[in-house]
Amino acid sequence: MNVAANIITLEVDWQNNVLRILDQTKLPGKESYLSLGTAEEIREAIYQLKVRGAPAIGVAAAYGIAVCARNIKGNDVAGFENEFCRLKTYLGSSRPTAVNLFTALDRMEACVKRYRTKEVEEIKAALIREAEQIHAEDQEACRRIGEWGLKLLKPGMGILTHCNAGKLAVSGCGTALAPIYAGQEKGYHFHVFADETRPLLQGARLTAFELQRSGIEVTLICDNMASVVMKQGKIQAVLVGCDRIAANGDVANKIGTSGVAVMAKYYGIPFYVLGPTSTIDFQSPTGDAITVEERAPEEVTEKWYVQRMAPEGVQVYNPAFDVTDHSLITAIITEKGIARPPFRETLNTLIACGS
């Protein structure tokens, strides 16, 4: 039984035409939902990480643009398409690294184009179906990632994870955490170590919350403790999610991930990346082509603190993601199967013939 099933990350209410999201900035203290009905509200929620995690951003954008498109007035298809494209550009400007945002918005635009010979009302109905399809595919992908990933684990293992790539980051049972939930259903016991994940504390606020809620043993550590727990033999595998996978297997994920990968290599611990194939970006030949989001200095100096923890005016560098070199990655687990090095070949093979 997946006890975390009672966490609903996002859902849509077509009757009132709003996207409802669990406000993740309030976790773990408060479980409150926001109803978002305008493009401004939806963009702001994504930018502020009220809904976050690559797949969840994609689903939120798909539902979000469908909600906004339903508010477009008039029956003129050309006018509808113009406004739709404006909304797409606007929502796409919320966060630059997670490729799922752009994949989902591109799919929604392709849907508009497929129906452009029809009435505006029919296009709007098709957009609802497309967003629901994206959501359903995401849930199914997570389930399969869990099954594939579980093949790499043994009961009793200690598992380190970074950031949150669980149920809160997607619409299903997560990506990096999916094998842990799949194992739980079979009665396996895992001990998860969650990096707190500075500066926005997704590990402390979200991963620790959702695993504890799900009855999975979890120990929270500061980011700078990962090396110690590895050295002490407490970790047998590292599982992380991904925001974008380049064609050569370089992986963009939450800042700090690449450091964990370096340590895992040093200690001889397998480092697994888990994500849906929609996260693979063949347009990015290597990680160098991936745009890494930089965020406000206040996230480092004062956010989550009762009082400011750095001198006024100090220079701050706050990249939200880093790129883990493919040479540090043991395998990439997708819903279509497991890719091992050389990733440039195996990722292509997965896409071409994986089931």
The residues that touch ligand MRU, with contacts defined as CB under 6 A, are: 49, 52-55, 98, 163, 165, 169-170, 175, 202, 241-243, 253-254, 320
In the chain, the largest separation of any two C-alpha atoms, in whole Å, equals 66
CB nearer ligand MRU, residue 83 or residue 299 = 299
**Minimum gap (Å) between residue 251 Cβ and ligand MRU:** 10
Length of the chain equals 355
Task: Give the nearer residue to ligand MRU in terms of CB position, either 120 or 206.
Answer: 206
Cα separation of 20 and 284, whole Å?
A: 33
Distances (CA, A) of 261 to 44, 240, 333: 32, 10, 16
Q: Which of 120, 117, 175 is nearest to 146 (CA)?
A: 175
Supply the minimum distance, in Å, between the C-beta of residue 170 and ligand MRU: 5
Residue 296, number of CB atoms within 10 A of its CB: 12
**Phi, psi values for residue 56, rounded to 5°:** -65, -35
Residue 131 or 176 with smaller CB distance to ligand MRU: 176
Active-site residue flag, 322: no
- Beta strands 237-240; 271-274: pairing state: parallel
101 vs 127, beta carbon nearer ligand MRU? 101
Nearer to ligand MRU, 10 or 127 (CB): 10
| C-alpha span between 284 and 342 (Å, rounded) | 16
Place of tokens 């493919």: 326
Work out how close the CB of 243 gets to ligand MRU at its nearest, in angstroms, rounded to a whole number. Answer: 5
**Residues 21/7, Cβ–Cβ less than 8 Å:** no
Q: How far apart are CA 126 and CA 143, in angstroms?
A: 26
Smallest gap from Cβ 240 to ligand MRU, in A, equals 6
Q: How far is the CB of 262 from ligand MRU (least distance, A)?
A: 17
8-state DSSP, 18: E
CB of 56 to ligand MRU, least distance (A): 7
CB 67 within 8 A of CB 19: yes
Cα Rg of the chain, angstroms: 20
CB-based closest residue to ligand MRU: 241
In the set 243, 250, 281, 322, the catalytic residue is: 243
Please give the Cα distance from 47 to 40 (Å, whole number). Answer: 10
Rounded to whole angstroms, how far apart are CA atoms 87 and 64? Answer: 10
Q: How far apart are CA 17 and CA 132, in angstroms?
A: 14
Q: How far is the CB of 169 from ligand MRU (least distance, A)?
A: 4
Token pair 């930089």: residue: 294
Q: Using the minimum distance from each CB to ligand MRU, give the nearer residue, 172 or 183.
A: 172
Backbone phi, psi, residue 264, to 5°:
-60, -40
- State which residue, 39 or 98, has the beta carbon closest to ligand MRU: 98
Catalytic residue set? 243
